[in-house]
Amino acid sequence: MSEPGATRADRPSVLFLCTHNAGRSQMAAGWVRHLAGPRVDVRSGGSEPADAVNPGAVAAMREVGIDIAGGHPARWTDDGVRAADVIVTMGCGDACPVYPGKRYVDWELDDPAGRPVAEIRPIRDEIERRVRGLLRELGVEPVLRSGAGDGA
């Protein structure tokens, strides 16, 4: 899935890592897909993947017009880490892979696991803010899409 004429080398690659790959990293990947489309390659993974994406995270993202229900928690792979230009860690601690020469960013965020949607909304909104900043750092201007960030 790419723009006509675009190659992998034309697009930055971001990998979001957390423990279960069911909440924070799935929401972050959803925001990147929503705001950057095919201009950024995005993946997510976990050190101990859950069986399914957190339903509260799915509901919170649906409120802003982003569907992450089709996501599948997966274990990060060495190839995926090596392919990433930026690796964003979100609470996986020492379990997150570290490769020399890679750009790492650690986002300390509350874990949405077991929280009601009302408590996930601020986490979702903070992830959006950070994703927008990361995209700008990568030279990708976020697109304003209808439904995003309106909380409805």
Q: Residue 10: pLDDT band by 50, 70, 90 thresholds?
A: confident
SS (H, E, C) the chain: CCCCCCCHHHCCEEEEEECCCCCHHHHHHHHHHHHHHHHCEEEEEECCCCCCCCHHHHHHHHCCCCCCCCCCCCECCHHHHHHCCEEEECCCHHHCCCCCCCEEEECCCCCCCCCCHHHHHHHHHHHHHHHHHHHHHCCCCCCCCCCCCCCC
Residue 84 among the catalytic residues: no
Range of the domain at 82: 8-137
Residue 96 among the catalytic residues: yes
Of 29, 61, 92, 134, the catalytic one is 92
Per the prediction, the chain carries an average pLDDT of 88
What pTM does this model have? 0.87
In a domain, 144, yes or no: no
Residue 111 among the catalytic residues: no
Q: Give how many domains the chain has, as a whole number.
A: 1
> What is the per-residue pLDDT across 60-90, written as a single tens digit (0 to 9) for each?
999 999 999 999 999 999 899 999 999 999 9
Of 96, 120, 123, 138, the catalytic one is 96
Give the CATH number of the domain where residue 114 resides. Answer: 3.40.50.2300
For residues 8-22, average pLDDT: 89
In a domain, 15, yes or no: yes
